[in-house]
Amino acid sequence: MSLRAGALVDSHCHLDDSRFEGDREEVILRAQQEGVGLMLSIGTCEGPPDLEAGIRLAEKYECIYATVGVHPHDASKADDRSLCRMEELAAHPKVLALGEMGLDFYYDNSPRDQQRTVFAGQLQLARKLRKPVIIHTRDAWDQTLGILEKHWRGSELPGIMHCFSGGPQEARQCLALGFYLSFAGILTYPKAAAVAEAAREAPLDRILVETDAPYLAPVPHRGRRNEPAFVAETARKLAALRGAPLEEIAAATTANFRRLCLPAPEATG
């Protein structure tokens, strides 16, 4: 079943990736044909000094918004100038959040102490700028949550747990910190029982869908390059798990994204 135009939001994709160089226009068109009205292009690119990858796409395409941030893989490339540049770029009207940021102790592409320092620095900047954050965590749940408890709790700001990979316990901890849970293609994988249980239990007003394209393509596209059009498959799986109509899940996740990242301007007068 096809969704109406603009029914879905892909809340996390890497459209700057070189795997889209040959057909990026077609990828965006396919997404729109599948009902994806907005895409959030994550601006981490290859790490500092280039933090503008998402902005370059957002300026070119009306349907794309952007973030700026330093991925934990690239923490070793960051310095004080990186945070200064992030602050400048965050003023762009299409930059909706900071990130993705966090900890990745699976690949350890940057030393763990540097990951922790750069993560905390970005959280502090986001608090200063009053921007939501997008969190990446892999094999580092306890330390990620500990840093969020120290540097984010009390901010009264929301955030997104990108590509949520935990179970119900981690979901409850993230929700208590004010985060939304963003479900990606992992949700469709047969062995992702804990993620599926978290998706069933999460409040309807705190869930999002994403692709993380070009990574983690959902079933039935697993093993292929992922792209924003495939977010519809994750939404279908989420609907099936919750026993809800697809249209309800699409409407809720889109409304959640807009409330989180695109609040209506305050009236003046």
Question: Would you state the pLDDT for residue 193?
Answer: 98
One-letter identity of residue 198: A
Helix, strand counts (H, E) of the chain? 9, 8
Q: Which pTM does this prediction carry?
A: 0.96
Question: Would you state the pLDDT for residue 268?
Answer: 39
| Two tokens, residue 46 | 């290859």
- Is residue 83 packed enough to be buried (19+ CB in 10 Å), middle (13-18) or exposed (0-12)? middle
Domains of the chain: 8-261 (3.20.20.140)
CA angle 165, 179, 170 (to 5 degrees): 40
Question: Would you state the pLDDT for residue 45?
Answer: 92
Sorted by sequence, the CB contacts under 8 Å of residue 222 that are 6+ apart come out as 185, 188, 189
Nearest to 202 by CA among 166, 151, 148, 157: 166
Q: What are phi and psi of 182, to 5 degrees?
A: -105, 120
Question: Would you state the pLDDT for residue 269?
Answer: 40
| Two tokens, residue 113 | 């102490």
Nearest to 57 by CA among 121, 87, 14: 14
Max Cα distance, the chain (Å): 55
Question: Would you state the pLDDT for residue 265?
Answer: 55
In 90-211, which ranges are continuous DSSP H helix?
Answer: 112-129, 141-151, 168-176, 193-201
Q: What are phi and psi of 68, to 5 degrees?
A: -130, 140
Dist. CA 12–CA 231, nearest whole Å: 10
- Total Cβ atoms within 10 A of residue 108: 13
Helix, strand, or coil here: 55?
helix
* Torsion angle of C-alpha atoms 256, 237, 101, 159, degrees rounded to 10: 20
**3, 247 contact by CB (below 8 A):** yes
**55, 89 contact by CB (below 8 A):** yes
**Which parts of the chain have pLDDT scores under 50?**
266-269
46-71 pLDDT, tens digit each: 999 999 999 999 999 999 999 999 99
Using DSSP bridges, classify how beta strands 36-41 and 64-68 pair: parallel, antiparallel or unpaired. Answer: parallel
Question: Would you state the pLDDT for residue 95?
Answer: 98
**98, 90 contact by CB (below 8 A):** yes
| Cα→Cα distances 217→10, 16, 158, 265, Å | 13, 17, 27, 35
Dist. CA 198–CA 191, nearest whole Å: 14
